[in-house]
A and B are shown apart, each in its own frame.
Chain A
Amino acid sequence: MLMAATVDERLAQAFVELADTLVAGYDLMEFLQTLTDRCVKLLEVDAAGLLLADSRGVLRVVAASTEQARVVELFQIQNDEGPCLDCYRTGQAVIVSDIRSDRAGERWPRFAAAAREMGYAGVHAIPMRLRDQVIGTLNLFKVVPDGLNPAVVVAATALVDVATIGILQERAVHQQEVVAAQLQVALNSRVIIEQAKGVLAERLRLSPDEAFVLLRRYARDHNHPLTELSGDVIRGTARISGGR
């Protein structure tokens, strides 16, 4: 099982790196962003998105390995139909090795067409669970038609568990209301980042995607938590340059 060993090794590395991020006062958005980036490398997929369910049961993207608007849309449109919604509702992983198949097309006609148009074939959704509650899903897209081998499913599940720990922090997670409150914080933090992308994009004449790349690079280079930096950008107290 050469493949499994490789995945294990890389998984161990990713955990060390993520554990380093989970220090006191860590920035949740940076953490989840790093996690989706690692998913792409570790799970050998082309795009990864983490979606959390809000109080209405709407799945919302909180972090993605790409900010490309059309890919983010592809995560998000699964609120109508798609592997993510099925995964969220059933609490079971949904592995679709080829979304272009007739069966997938019949099951999710609109999502399958959109995914195909974007050039994706493999589409997988892993549930984020907290005991009997499903709080979100990890969505993985692959260009080549392919399932997920068992070692990769184990790795993906482990990463999703780490994401859950990161979101709920050290809180007494047996309380339902604490879970709801922490999810609200995560979802709202994402909105702050989107607002900051808009502010920066307009100031520097960039697209929101480009603004995000700049924002994230600045956060890393200056060791500045991403959510806090976004707040500073909105208030006009962070001076980020580097437009076109």
Chain B
Amino acid sequence: MAGERTAQVWAWIAAAREGNAPVSLAMLCLAAAGWLGVDGASVTAVGGPAVSEPLSATDELAARLEELLFTTGEGPGVEGPGVEDFRFGSPVLIPDLAPVTARWPGFAPAAMAAGARALFAFPLQAGAIRAGVLSLYRAEPGPLTPQQLADALVFADIALQLLLDSHAGISASADYRPLDGLSDSRAEVYQATGMISVQLGVSLEEALVRLRAHAFAISTPLDDVADDVVSRTLRFHPDSDPDPDLNPQT
């Protein structure tokens, strides 16, 4: 069933936890490197069209690749093959950098010199919300297997959830569970996100952060809270109070 894969990936990530420490993006990167047949992973936040902030990397090479993407303005998800689809939520998969050196004269030779041959970039995205990128690299060329690709998409989905929830100050402690795929969410979750962004005058990303934070705060499934927003029994108010008022319609 659908939920099994999310549960499996979450178990891999949680296993990287030491003691009772909350699950972090660093653990997610470690688990991704361990289970996806790659040598390293990193997560970068995207704050705008040109701003990106490295959040976590398993090793120096993973960090170096992020730096190269930034300094050369080339590479997977930045410019070149697949970048259009990347903007629409599709991963960019480069099983071998050697044939694409001409396309990325600044990035590819430098990345190969640093020791990377295969690169895979997964947008952390939900519709128009683009929060960051999960990047994987391997020293040897070769594609991800279909199974690894499917698992990597689940890793990306969980990374997005961790990133959004960290913005709301929610730490992934022992009782934290990612939703069964943010992207599996019902249409109402996305409709509610759009509605809240107008109610609060904030971005969609911020609206989704607030929606999730509220669901966590009242220990209610996200779907149920979204239904209340769509049916207009719940409104969010633009004040400092993190919790919206309830306006039951009678």
Task: Enumerate chain A interface residues (CB-CB to B < 8 A).
Answer: 54-58, 60-61, 69, 72-73, 76, 79, 176-177, 180-182, 184-185, 187-189, 191-192, 194-203, 208, 230-231, 234
Q: Which of B90, B129, B198 contacts A199 (CB 8 A)?
A: B198
Q: List 25 A-B contacts (CB under 8 A).
A: A55-B150, A55-B154, A58-B181, A58-B184, A61-B187, A69-B188, A177-B93, A177-B143, A181-B82, A181-B91, A181-B93, A182-B85, A184-B85, A185-B90, A188-B90, A188-B126, A188-B183, A196-B194, A197-B194, A198-B192, A198-B196, A203-B198, A208-B187, A208-B191, A234-B194
Known A188-B89, A192-B128, A203-B198; further 20 A-B contacts with Cβ < 8 A: A54-B153, A55-B5, A56-B154, A56-B181, A57-B2, A57-B5, A177-B149, A180-B91, A180-B146, A180-B149, A181-B82, A184-B85, A187-B89, A189-B88, A191-B128, A194-B187, A197-B194, A199-B197, A230-B128, A234-B128
Q: Which of chain B's residues has its CB closest to A181's CB? A: B90
Residues of B within 8 A of A182 (CB): 85, 90
Query: B153–A184 contact, CB under 8 A?
Result: yes
Q: Which residues of A contact B88 (CB under 8 A)?
A: 185, 188-189
Q: Which of A72, A180, A198 is B194 in contact with, Cβ under 8 Å?
A: A198
Q: Scoring B residues 146 to 158 as 1 if CB is less than 8 Å from chain A, else 0, what string do you get?
A: 1001100110000
Q: A188-B89, A201-B195, A202-B195 are in contact. Are A54 and B183 (CB under 8 A)?
A: yes
Q: Kindly supply a per-residue 1/0 record for chain B positions 192-205, scoring 1 wherever the CB is within 8 Å of any chain A CB and 0 otherwise.
A: 11111111000010
Closest A residue by C-beta to B188: A69
CB distance from A151 to the nearest CB of B (A): 33
Main SS of chain A's interface residues?
helix
* Minimum Cβ distance to chain A for residue B183 (Å): 6
Q: Is B230 an interface residue when CB atoms closer than 8 A count as contact?
A: yes
Q: How far is the CB of A108 from the nearest CB of chain B, in Å? A: 16
CA distance A176 to B149 in the complex (A): 10
- Shortest beta-carbon distance from B23 to chain A in Å: 20
Tell me, in angstroms, the Cα distance from A177 to B121 when the chains sit together. 13
Q: Ordered nearest first, which 9 A-B pairs have the shortest CB separation?
A: A198-B194, A188-B89, A191-B127, A194-B190, A198-B191, A55-B153, A202-B198, A199-B194, A181-B90
